[in-house]
Structure 1
Amino acid sequence: MPQVIHLNPENVMARLVPHILEMESAAHGQRIAIGIAGGPGTGKSTLAAELVAMLNAVKPGSAALVPMDGFHMKHAKIEAMGATDRKGAPHTFEGAEFVGFLHHLKHASEAVSGPGYSRKIEDTVDDAFTVQPDVKVLVVEGNYLLLTEGPWAGVRPLLDYAAFIHVPRELVRKRLMKRHGEEGLFSEERNRAHIERNDLPNYDLVEQSRERADVIFELDVTR
């Protein structure tokens, strides 16, 4: 059973950074992968980026962010599937490609570039980041890292340590409304419908995978 810790987001780093540094030292030069999982709107992307920054502040160039979102299917492919209403659900990602990419990254000795996702265009961007040869800690961030369905089952065995981020469902709903509205691509009505039809069911699915983490951070947040 994972350890469950209630704390403020600011204190997550105080828990994670020393532990990861110890893991890196014990790996004797081998790359390790740290998973930051959680549903949409839980703040895991921000936490993962902060974690990379703090690890690199201690050991410059030692950590890199690996976002799962870059493995969304291309929007044109999702449209061709007739799945735009469910964009962001597990079946609208290239899950097997993500698993293969992560496996390659753990053993690569050369620079490796990977895709990202842009909310400004609601589509993936090739070569959005590059993991340099000296990187020893991969901070892997995404919704579906701990799922057991289909190709997603291949992710967890590649993670040396996994943290799950929990934020209450009602707060997630408010955050997602704000996020979807920021780029002004869609109407408020469309955004609200998408959240209820897609984002919150995805949140519920991800919550069911939390027991596969090593630690669950239940964050004390109000906004």
Structure 2
Amino acid sequence: MDTPPYVRWDESGQQQLLARAEVLLQRHGRCLLGIAGAPGAGKSTISEWLLEHLLTNHPGQVALVPMDGYHLAQSLLESRGLEHHKGAPDTFDGVGFVALLRQLRSETSREIFAPVFRRDVNDAIAAAIAVPPETRLIITEGNYLLFDEAPWNEVQSLLDETWFVELEQDERLRRLTARHLKFDNNAAIAEWRATGNDERNARLVAAGSQRSTLVIEHTAATGRERHR
């Protein structure tokens, strides 16, 4: 397997990424772009940046549909004793996410609705994202887009490109801890989540970088607000 090219998350690299996305937009029909990576690597930041810049020249033609909308409901996780493993592969409806991607690829004549995960309520909200028929590029981001176990191993074939985001370990853990503190003001619990469950999931995700179209080298100097 060839090693994917690396692109730094700087001004030059950002222009390269925009150019690649523009090529997808020029293709006939609808394209899907996946942005994968470990928890806290910066997938959301990059996805939202890309969406904002592309919509400037392509209004109404680009949509962002994150994988996180397929989190199992908190009540279901609690009933199964999985609440402390939230974010692991088996705490998502992976089959449902794959089905959505298939639908987004094949059904371009009608509006399609997708769920979104809201951290303020710690749960997914159904039908919160609307994808109109005129959408030509859909960006999806999440931990397990390149995970090589069923049903996640069906995802890559449904994507036209998959970018993998990497971030230096100490900075990634710092961001994860800060994110947990925003929603639970307990430093010990925040650190436990970042270095425990999140880190186990990060190790599962890591191998996917070699199956990606390219790897984005995120940097500690870029953005410190919203990273997923």
TM-score of the superposition, structure 1-length normalised?
0.93
> CA shift at 1:220, angstroms?
2.9
1:21 partner SS: helix
1:125 partner SS: strand
Residue number in structure 1 paired with 2:74: 75
- Equivalent residues in 2 for 1:96-107 (5 A)? 96-107=95-106
Q: Is residue 200 of structure 1 aligned with residue 207 of structure 2?
A: no
Residue number in structure 2 paired with 1:212: 211
> CA shift at 1:219, angstroms?
2.1
- Distance in 1 (alpha carbons) for counterparts of 2:40 and 2:11: 17
How many residue pairs were aligned? Answer: 220
- Distance in 2 (alpha carbons) for counterparts of 1:117 and 1:3: 30
Residue number in structure 1 paired with 2:17: 16
Moved more, 188-197 or 106-115: 188-197
1:209 partner SS: helix
Matched residue type, 1:101: L
Q: Which deviations, in whole Å up to 9, do the C-alpha atoms of 1:21-50 show, x marking residues without a partner?
A: 12322x22x110001111111111011011
Percent identity for Structure 1 against Structure 2: 33
Matched residue type, 1:45: S
Q: Is residue 130 of structure 1 aligned with residue 130 of structure 2?
A: yes
Give structure 1 stretches of 5+ with no counterpart: none
Moved more, 53-62 or 68-77: 53-62
- Distance in 2 (alpha carbons) for counterparts of 1:8 and 1:48: 12
2:153 partner SS: helix
Q: Is residue 161 of structure 1 aligned with residue 161 of structure 2?
A: yes
After superposition, the Cα gap between the structure-2 partners of 1:190 and 1:161, relative to the gap in structure 1 and judged at 3 Å, is: same
CA RMSD for the aligned pairs?
A: 1.4
Residue number in structure 2 paired with 1:3: 4
- Distance in 1 (alpha carbons) for counterparts of 2:199 and 2:170: 10
Residue number in structure 2 paired with 1:187: 186
Moved more, 6-15 or 85-94: 6-15
1:162 partner SS: strand
- Distance in 1 (alpha carbons) for counterparts of 2:21 and 2:216: 16
Give structure 2 stretches of 5+ with no counterpart: none
- Distance in 2 (alpha carbons) for counterparts of 1:75 and 1:102: 23
> CA shift at 1:187, angstroms?
2.0
Contact residue 143 and residue 205 of structure 2 kept, 8 A: yes
> CA shift at 1:61, angstroms?
1.1
After superposition, the Cα gap between the structure-2 partners of 1:9 and 1:48, relative to the gap in structure 1 and judged at 3 Å, is: farther
- Distance in 1 (alpha carbons) for counterparts of 2:142 and 2:117: 12
Matched residue type, 1:169: Q
- Equivalent residues in 2 for 1:143-162 (5 A)? 143-162=143-162
> CA shift at 1:2, angstroms?
4.1
TM-score of the superposition, structure 2-length normalised?
0.91
Contact residue 4 and residue 218 of structure 1 kept, 8 A: no
> CA shift at 1:6, angstroms?
4.7
Q: Is residue 93 of structure 1 aligned with residue 92 of structure 2?
A: yes
Contact residue 6 and residue 220 of structure 1 kept, 8 A: no
Matched residue type, 1:43: G
> CA shift at 1:117, angstroms?
0.6
